[in-house]
Structure 1
Amino acid sequence: MDGKTLARIIAVIFIAVAVTATIVEMTRKEDKPGAAVLEAPATSQSPLREGLRRCQVLGEGALRDGGCLRLWTEQRDRFLGSKAPFVSSTSQPVTPPSPDANSPGAR
């Protein structure tokens, strides 16, 4: 038997073992570790989490829902670690100053 034939036989055996191992692994009925992560007990959920889930179900309608906006603000503040939401001292939006016509750079 020459070297090429032996290499081909070994390659075919290797592929057969790999395919068999893949089939055996795919047909297992064991509990997957990812499935346990997705299931969370309903009793441990906070009202904030339940409200956020409700807003998620609303989809685009949540953009017009005042309750969802309040929940998102609260969640953002918790995430960022701020105690109180940021409140601007001015009631008008801040706009960048327009260039002065009398300045030397405007000519």
Structure 2
Amino acid sequence: MDGKMLARLGAVVFVAIAITATVIEMTRKDDPAPVRTAPTLQPPADPLRATLRRCQQLGEAATSDPACLAAWAESRDRFLGRTSAPDAPRQTEGQ
């Protein structure tokens, strides 16, 4: 066998393999996998969050609002991991 004949034979074999692979791929039926969506979890309603939103919308007036001051204190305690203690009576300087 001379070199030309070997090259032609190699080309024919390559084309035959390529055509076979193409036919196999075209006859394959791809069933798309069903899309499964995870259920969305809704966290329980947090009244503190709603109060903090209201205080945010009040702007600077919230600094004198007792409900906002209490909400901020509770939020701070939650963040720091403290348990909320009952309010102790405060003593004033005059008494």
Q: TM-score, normalised by structure 1?
A: 0.39
Q: TM-score, normalised by structure 2?
A: 0.43
Higher relative contact order (CA 8 A, sep 6+): 2
